[in-house]
Amino acid sequence: MKRIIILCAAMMFMVCVKTVPVHAFGLGLFGNFDGGKMIWEGYPANFMNYGGGFVMDTNLAADQVFNYRLELGFSNLRTPYEVKEWDMIPTMIASYFMGTIFPIEKNVTYYENSLALTTVHYFGFGVVRTKNVRFWLGPQITIGGMLTNLTGFIAGIGFAMGLNINIGDVFTLSFVGSGRYVGGVRFFSYQGTTYSQGGYGGDGMITVGFIFRIPGDKYRR
């Protein structure tokens, strides 16, 4: 399953690469960390997410207003979920007096680590454009899924700002910060019972990228 996921991700990335104009283009790797809070069927759940992946940007250094940036990421998502279990002592007492099994349930919280596969799309507009620095602002769209025991789908929209520090003719150090609103659905099993939950919430994300520019992505007035 993991090999299939990696192969599909690689194919998606190559398709995106082929659609990018050759005159302005950068490819590289990134690492990210984000955290926030989701409300799953009334249950509030804080989460943390860290990972990395591939990044592509159509304009890192050129003196042009617009840039499209794609991040294809793999990350570890740690999030809690709530299930019902028998509260043994009250159940034993109630069953004794009732003369039959009389279950009394309690809510229990567990934490689960899941593999998250996400694509994050940025639509940036450069407000500061110099030979060595590009600062941009713009909307962000996220589409992704969760795998392993806790599975599901997520989608989000937010606002991002990025700083490109162009070092020489081929290398860019990139920093991106963003905040977004996220919604989704998740599924998990516990002791033979399958749960499905819809949720919404928000998070903040920080990304650091190391990108190599294809010849042509240079600052020209």
96 versus 201: the higher-pLDDT residue is: 201
Residue 87 lies in a domain: yes
Q: What is the mean pLDDT of residues 15-31?
A: 67
CA dist 158 and 70 (Å) reads 14
Residue 24: pLDDT band by 50, 70, 90 thresholds? low
CA dist 211 and 60 (Å) reads 9
How deeply is 172 buried, as exposed, middle or buried, from its count of CB atoms within 10 A (0-12, 13-18, 19+)? buried
Beta strands, E only, the chain: 26-40, 43-57, 66-86, 105-129, 133-147, 151-167, 171-190, 193-213
Residue 54: pLDDT band by 50, 70, 90 thresholds? very high
**Is the pLDDT score of 2 beyond 90?**
no
Q: How do residues 38-49 score in pLDDT, each as one tens digit?
A: 999 888 888 888
**Is the pLDDT score of 88 beyond 90?**
no
Residue 99 lies in a domain: yes
Residue 136 is predicted with a pLDDT of: 98
**Is the pLDDT score of 19 beyond 50?**
no
Q: C-alpha angle 208/26/160, rounded to 5°?
A: 45
Closest C-alpha to 157, from 120, 125, 198, 124: 120
CATH number of the structural domain spanning residue 7: 2.40.160
Number of residues written out for the chain: 221
Domain count, the chain: 1
Q: How do residues 128-183 score in pLDDT, each as one tens digit?
A: 999 999 999 999 999 999 988 789 999 999 999 999 999 988 999 999 999 999 99
Give the whole-number percent of the chain exceeding pLDDT 90.
56
How deeply is 212 buried, as exposed, middle or buried, from its count of CB atoms within 10 A (0-12, 13-18, 19+)? middle
Residue 16 lies in a domain: yes
Residue 114 lies in a domain: yes
Q: Which of 12-21, 75-84, 147-156 is the most confident on average?
A: 147-156
Residue 98 lies in a domain: yes
Residue 221 lies in a domain: no
Contact 106, 159 (CB under 8 A): no
Residue 113: pLDDT band by 50, 70, 90 thresholds? confident
Residue 145 is predicted with a pLDDT of: 94
Distances (CA, A) of 217 to 12, 62, 63, 101, 171: 23, 6, 9, 72, 10
**Is the pLDDT score of 68 beyond 80?**
yes
The first and second tokens of residue 213, run together, are 């520019």
The residue segments making up the domain with residue 21 are 2-213
Residue 36 lies in a domain: yes
Residue 219 lies in a domain: no
How confident is the prediction for the chain on average, in pLDDT?
85
